[in-house]
Amino acid sequence: MLLSLPARSHTAPAIHFNEVRHDFDRVGQDDRIDYVFEFRDTGNQILIIEKITGSISPLV
């Protein structure tokens, strides 16, 4: 018996970052720093970003 099914389309949002980590080197306590992480929606559905968090990893 041969069963033929239509090809299943994988549709989902997907995100691609050019880089996922950045080293800010030494930053003073009162220094203001800015950095832009560039990303793009590489999926074939709308990408919804609901929450963004950062992390601080101080070196002593």
**pLDDT in tens for each of the 60 residues of the chain?**
555 555 555 678 999 999 888 888 888 888 888 889 899 999 999 999 999 887 776 654
Confirm whether pTM is higher than 0.75.
no
pLDDT of residue 9: 58
pLDDT reported for residue 32: 87
Whole-number Å distance between alpha carbons of 18 and 23 = 15
Could you tell me if 57 and 26 are in contact, meaning their C-beta atoms sit under 8 angstroms apart? no
pLDDT of residue 16: 93
Q: What is the pLDDT of residue 7?
A: 56
Q: What is the pLDDT of residue 54?
A: 75
